[in-house]
């Protein structure tokens, strides 16, 4: 991975790019007059983080582009504000003041909705094992601007941690959070979802391990929740009881 800028960057973008490269301990490459395919030809890297005037983007050698956008989380929060149910919030019985550990942040939609649900007195910690995703989503949560106050505040309250959930859970104190979430959505994405497909090459698609679930049960006070395809076999393999089911996905629970 390397960091660069868009064409003709201001000093602000160049400085941000240099600082990002330094913090990630990866090369900073001057954009100059080169397009991204040309920069990839000069390196052996697979991904480039591109600092633009508007946002931080990740571009792959094969052309996939990923950048942060709240996407469905904005609509889900709007529905909650109108007293319409959200499946995740209902299935987990998430309440104001809860501490939620989202072990599979991805694009951040569940973390954002959870942050709204638990409110200012609650806490959401979002784990992401893949550095490119963690950096882009964290930057987006901090810099994305919207006139929807509830959405803006929910994004601003999330703590992003670039770490594998197995490693993170192993050092957590017992009963230290209320709810643990697992949504390994990228193992079987919906082909029609352009956003999901652009992100998939960057993701960790390893199956959830029984060891991680055991640690999560130790850490959670209220429950550990898994979102998966109903017929995936993962609920049975890992010991979850399905609490909510639809044709496309289900939420399962293990109570401590």
Q: In CATH terms, are 2-63 and 72-254 the same topology?
A: yes
At residue 111, φ and ψ (nearest 5 deg) are: -65, -40
Choose which CATH entry (1.10.10.10, 3.20.20.140, 3.50.50.60, 3.40.50.150) describes domain 72-254: 3.40.50.150
Give the integer Cα–Cα distance in Å for 117 and 29. 41
CA distances from 38 to 46, 55, 61, 84 (A): 13, 22, 10, 49
* 233 DSSP 8-state letter: S
Give the integer Cα–Cα distance in Å for 184 and 198. 16
Reported as half-sphere exposure (CB side, CA atoms, 13 A), residue 227 has a value of 25
Choose which CATH entry (3.40.50.10480, 3.40.50.300, 3.40.50.200, 1.10.1040.10) describes domain 2-63: 3.40.50.10480
Interstrand relation of 2-5 and 177-182 (parallel, antiparallel or unpaired):
unpaired
CB atoms within 10 A of CB 134: 19
In angstroms, how far is the first alpha carbon of the chain from the final one? 40
Per-residue pLDDT tens listing for the chain (256 residues)? 999 999 999 999 999 999 999 999 999 999 999 999 999 999 989 999 999 999 999 999 988 888 999 989 999 999 999 999 999 999 999 999 999 999 999 999 999 999 999 999 999 999 999 998 999 999 999 999 999 999 999 999 999 999 999 999 999 999 999 999 999 864 454 444 454 455 555 666 788 999 999 999 999 999 999 999 988 899 999 999 999 988 789 999 999 9
Give the integer Cα–Cα distance in Å for 114 and 105. 11
The pLDDT of residue 207? 86
Alpha helices in the chain (DSSP H): 11-24, 36-42, 72-81, 87-92, 109-118, 131-143, 149-156, 165-170, 194-199, 210-219, 234-238
User: 173: which 2 tokens?
Assistant: 């104190």
Contacts of 113 (CB under 8 A, 6+ apart): 73, 76, 77, 80, 86, 88, 89, 154
Give the integer Cα–Cα distance in Å for 97 and 104. 21
CA distances from 65 to 25, 130, 134, 196 (A): 22, 15, 15, 11
User: What is the value of pTM for the model shown?
Assistant: 0.91
177 in Cβ contact with 219 (< 8 Å): yes
């Amino acid at each position: 991975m390397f960091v660069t800028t868009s064409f003709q960057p201001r000093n602000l973008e160049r400085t941000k790019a240099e600082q990002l490269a330094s913090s990630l301990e990866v090369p900073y490459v001057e954009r100059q007059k080169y397009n991204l395919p040309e920069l990839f030809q000069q390196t052996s890297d697979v991904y480039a983080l591109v600092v633009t005037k508007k946002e931080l983007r990740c571009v792959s050698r094969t052309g996939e582009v990923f950048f942060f956008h709240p996407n469905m989380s904005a609509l889900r929060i709007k529905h909650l504000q109108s007293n319409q149910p959200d499946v995740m919030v209902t299935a987990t019985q998430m309440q104001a003041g809860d501490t939620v550990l989202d072990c599979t942040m991805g694009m951040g939609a569940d973390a954002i909705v959870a942050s709204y649900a638990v409110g200012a007195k609650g806490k959401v910690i979002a784990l992401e094992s893949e550095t490119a995703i963690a950096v882009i989503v964290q930057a987006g949560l901090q810099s994305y601007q919207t006139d929807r106050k509830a959405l803006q505040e929910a994004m601003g309250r999330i703590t992003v941690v670039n770490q594998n959930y197995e490693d993170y859970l192993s050092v957590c104190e017992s009963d230290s959070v209320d709810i643990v979430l697992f949504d390994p959505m990228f193992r079987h994405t919906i082909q029609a979802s352009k956003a999901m497909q652009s992100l998939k090459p960057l993701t960790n698609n390893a199956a959830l391990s029984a060891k991680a679930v055991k640690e999560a049960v130790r850490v959670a006070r209220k429950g550990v929740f898994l979102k998966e395809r109903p017929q995936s076999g993962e609920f049975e393999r890992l010991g979850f009881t399905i609490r909510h089911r639809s044709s496309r996905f289900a939420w399962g629970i293990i109570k401590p």
